[in-house]
């Protein structure tokens, strides 16, 4: 005689719980992806900005004596390299692929090939992104770091506020702003700031990420373009 055990049926309550847990996990994953994207953007942006400014400045200054031609061509090649990396970062943080643009194929050899490379509009757009994205990355890095660390620091204010100097009978920020010297009020004030920062961290980071990824998609993609070969 064979006994069969029926598979347990998921109740509506358990199904809703699993759905909510999956949604929460997805939001947490997106938060950490966006935070990593914004923080990593600053060192990448510094390197890209230095390469772009140096390449354009040196190349333009010495273009008349031909020496600037390989410098400008090298700057555009570096721009394409940085653009490829940024398209991969945007795809990773947004979960949506970034179309690969069509570049003009360099023709000829030697100086002729370098001149041909300078005629590629998309390479110049890539170079423009290296310059435009830098201030966005600086601001985004600063805000993302301030918002997240500020939220943690303010929420834990009660654990470290004792170490703050209280010279002259000052009771902290609340005392300086409103003349309230209550220790409990000071802790409550800072904890409230931490709560506000924590509750707004997700939309703030999402908005900063959308600004950067939108700029990248606008400058680093041109799937509809076609160049003469």
**For 63-72, 93-102, 200-209, which range has the lowest pLDDT when averaged over its residues?**
63-72
Confidence of residue 66 (pLDDT cuts 50, 70, 90): low
The residue assigned the tokens 């004030």 is 189
Roughly how many angstroms between the first and final C-alpha of the chain, as a whole number? Answer: 76
The total of other beta-carbon atoms located within 10 Å of residue 173's CB is: 15
The total of other beta-carbon atoms located within 10 Å of residue 46's CB is: 13
CA distance 37 to 212: 10
CA distance 57 to 206: 35
Greatest CA separation found in the chain?
Answer: 96
- CB within 8 Å of 225: residues ≥ 6 apart: 101, 102, 121, 122
CA 177 to centroid of chain Cα atoms: 34
Model confidence pLDDT, tens digit, residues 100-143: 998 887 666 666 677 777 888 999 999 999 999 999 999 999 99
pTM of full prediction above 0.85: no
């Amino acid at each position: 005689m064979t006994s069969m055990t029926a598979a347990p049926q998921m109740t509506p309550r358990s199904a809703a719980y699993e759905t909510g847990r999956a949604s929460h996990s997805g939001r947490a994953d997106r938060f950490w992806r966006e935070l990593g994207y914004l923080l990593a953007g600053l060192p990448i942006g510094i390197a890209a900005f230095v390469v772009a400014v140096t390449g354009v400045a040196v190349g333009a200054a010495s273009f008349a004596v031909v020496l600037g031609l390989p410098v400008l061509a090298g700057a555009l090649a570096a721009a394409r390299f940085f653009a490829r990396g940024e398209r991969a970062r945007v795809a990773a943080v947004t979960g949506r692929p970034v179309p690969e643009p069509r570049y003009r194929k360099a023709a000829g050899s030697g100086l002729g090939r370098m001149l041909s490379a300078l005629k590629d509009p998309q390479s110049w757009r890539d170079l423009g992104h290296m310059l435009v994205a830098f201030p966005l990355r600086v601001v985004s890095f600063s805000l993302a770091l301030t918002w997240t660390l500020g939220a943690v620091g303010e929420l834990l204010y009660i654990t470290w506020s004792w170490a703050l100097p209280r010279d002259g009978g000052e009771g902290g920020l609340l005392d300086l702003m409103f003349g309230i010297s209550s220790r409990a009020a000071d802790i409550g004030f800072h904890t409230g700031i931490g709560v506000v920062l924590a509750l707004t961290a997700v939309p703030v980071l999402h908005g900063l990420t959308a600004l950067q990824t939108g700029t990248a998609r606008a400058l680093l993609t041109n799937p509809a373009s076609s160049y003469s070969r």
